Amino acid sequence: MRHSLLAVTGSSGSGKTSLILRLLPALRARGYRPACIKHSSHHHNFGNPAKDSGRFYAANAAYSLVGNDETQLLQCPRPLDLAQLPPCAEADLLLLDDGMQHLQLQRNLDLCLIDHSRGLGNGLVMPCGPLREPARALAQASAVVVTKANLPAAPDLNQVLNLIPPGLPVFFTEYHPQSLVLAQTGKELPLTWLQEKEIHAFSGLGNNAGFAATLSGLGLPLASHLVLPDHGSYATVMQQELAKKTGILLTTEKDFARLQGQLANWPAFYWLKMAVQIPPDFAAWLELRLKEIAHV
Report the C-alpha gap between 192 and 197 in whole angstroms: 10
Report the C-alpha gap between 102 and 34 in whole angstroms: 20
| CB burial of residue 201 (10 Å; 0-12, 13-18, 19+) | buried
Residue 93: strand pairing partners: 4, 34
For the chain, the straight-line distance linking the first and the last C-alpha, in angstroms and rounded, comes to 15
Range among 86-95, 124-133, 218-227 rated most confident: 218-227
* Helix H or strand E encompassing 66: strand 64-67
Asked if pLDDT for residue 119 goes beyond 80, the answer is yes
Asked if pLDDT for residue 219 goes beyond 90, the answer is yes
Region 84-113 average pLDDT: 71
Asked if pLDDT for residue 86 goes beyond 60, the answer is no
Instruction: Considering only residues 5 and 59, tell me which one the structure prediction assigns the higher pLDDT.
Output: 5
Give domain 4-173+278-294's CATH architecture. 3-Layer(aba) Sandwich (3.40)
Model confidence at 239, pLDDT cuts 50, 70, 90, reads: confident
Strands 188-189 and 174-182, how do they pair? antiparallel
Mean pLDDT lowest among 42-46, 99-103, 183-187, 286-290: 42-46
CA-CA-CA-CA torsion for 79, 85, 91, 95, nearest 10 degrees? Answer: -20
Asked if pLDDT for residue 253 goes beyond 60, the answer is yes
CA-CA-CA-CA torsion for 248, 153, 279, 114, nearest 10 degrees? Answer: -100
Model confidence at 67, pLDDT cuts 50, 70, 90, reads: very low
DSSP state letters, 226-257: EE--TT----HHHHHHHHT--SEEEEEHHHHH
CA-closest candidate to residue 238, choices 223, 228, 252, 248 = 228
Peptide bond into 79 cis (omega under 30): yes
Instruction: Considering only residues 177 and 81, tell me which one the structure prediction assigns the higher pLDDT.
Output: 177
Region 104-133 average pLDDT: 83
pTM to 2 decimals? 0.79
Output the average pLDDT for the chain: 81
**What length does the chain have?**
296
CA-CA-CA-CA torsion for 284, 287, 288, 291, nearest 10 degrees? Answer: -170
Please write down the HEC assignment for all residues of 165-190: CCCCCEEECEEEEEEEEECCCCCEEC
If you ran DSSP here, which 8-state letter would residue 205 be given? -
The pLDDT score that the predictor gives to residue 55 is: 64
Asked if pLDDT for residue 72 goes beyond 80, the answer is no
Model confidence at 81, pLDDT cuts 50, 70, 90, reads: low
Which strand ranges, in their side-by-side order, compose the sheet holding 34-39? 64-67, 34-39, 93-97, 4-10, 109-115, 143-147, 170-172
Mean pLDDT lowest among 55-69, 163-177, 189-203: 55-69
Model confidence at 265, pLDDT cuts 50, 70, 90, reads: confident
The pLDDT score that the predictor gives to residue 231 is: 73
Map out the domains of the chain as residue ranges.
Answer: 4-173+278-294, 176-276
The pLDDT score that the predictor gives to residue 174 is: 96
